[in-house]
Amino acid sequence: MKNRLHQLAAAALMTVASMGAQAAFDITVNYSGDSAYQSYFDNAASFWEGLITGYQGSVSLTGVTIDASIEAIDGQWGTLGYAGPNGTSVQGGFRYTTTGIMVFDSADMAYMTGSGTFADVIRHEMAHVLGFGTLWTYNGVYVDGSGQYTGAAALAEYQTEYNQPGATYIPVELGGGGGTADGHWNEVDNGAGTTGITDGNGNDMRNELMTGWLNAPTYVSRTTIAQFQDIGYTVNLSPVPEPETMMMFALGLPVLLRFARRQNKPQA
Contact set with Zn ion (CB under 5 A): 259
One-letter amino acid for residue 224 of the chain: T
> Amino acid identity of 91?
Q
Instruction: Please enumerate, as own/partner, the contacts of 124-127 that have beta carbons within 8 Å and a separation of 24 or more.
Output: 124/209, 124/210, 124/214, 124/259, 125/81, 125/82, 125/83, 125/259, 126/27, 126/44, 126/45, 126/48, 126/66, 126/83, 126/102, 127/48, 127/209, 127/210, 127/224
Shortest CB 61 distance to Zn ion, Å: 23
Is 55 or 68 the residue whose CB approaches Zn ion more closely?
Answer: 68
End-to-end CA distance of the chain: 66
Report how far residue 58's alpha carbon sits from residue 55's, in angstroms, rounded to the nearest whole number.
7
CB of 20 to Zn ion, least distance (A): 33
Rounded to whole angstroms, the Cα distance separating 219 from 241 reads 7
Question: Would you say 104 or 259 has its CB closer to Zn ion?
Answer: 259
Query: What is the three-class DSSP state of 232?
Result: coil
When CB distances to Zn ion are compared, the closest residue is: 259
User: Least distance in Å: CB of 179 to Zn ion?
Assistant: 7
Residue with Cβ nearer Zn ion (55 or 209): 209
CB of 121 to Zn ion, least distance (A): 9
Closer residue to Zn ion in complex, CB, 55/204: 204
Pick the closer one to Zn ion by CB: 204 or 208: 208
Say which residues have a Cβ less than 8 Å from residue 62's Cβ, sequence separation at least 6: 23, 24, 25, 26
CB of 107 to Zn ion, least distance (A): 19
> In the complex, what is the shortest distance from the CB of residue 59 to Zn ion, in angstroms, rounded to a whole number?
26
Query: Measured from the CB atom, is 55 or 263 closer to Zn ion?
Result: 263
* Shortest distance (Å) from residue 12 CB to Zn ion: 42
Question: Up-side HSE of residue 142: CA atoms within 13 Å toward CB?
Answer: 28
| DSSP summary character for residue 191 | G
Measured CA distances, 26 to 48, 52, 159 (Å):
9, 9, 30
Pair type for strands 233-235 and 148-149: unpaired
Whose Cβ is closer to Zn ion: residue 55's or residue 225's?
225
Number of H helices and E strands in the chain, helices first, is 7, 8
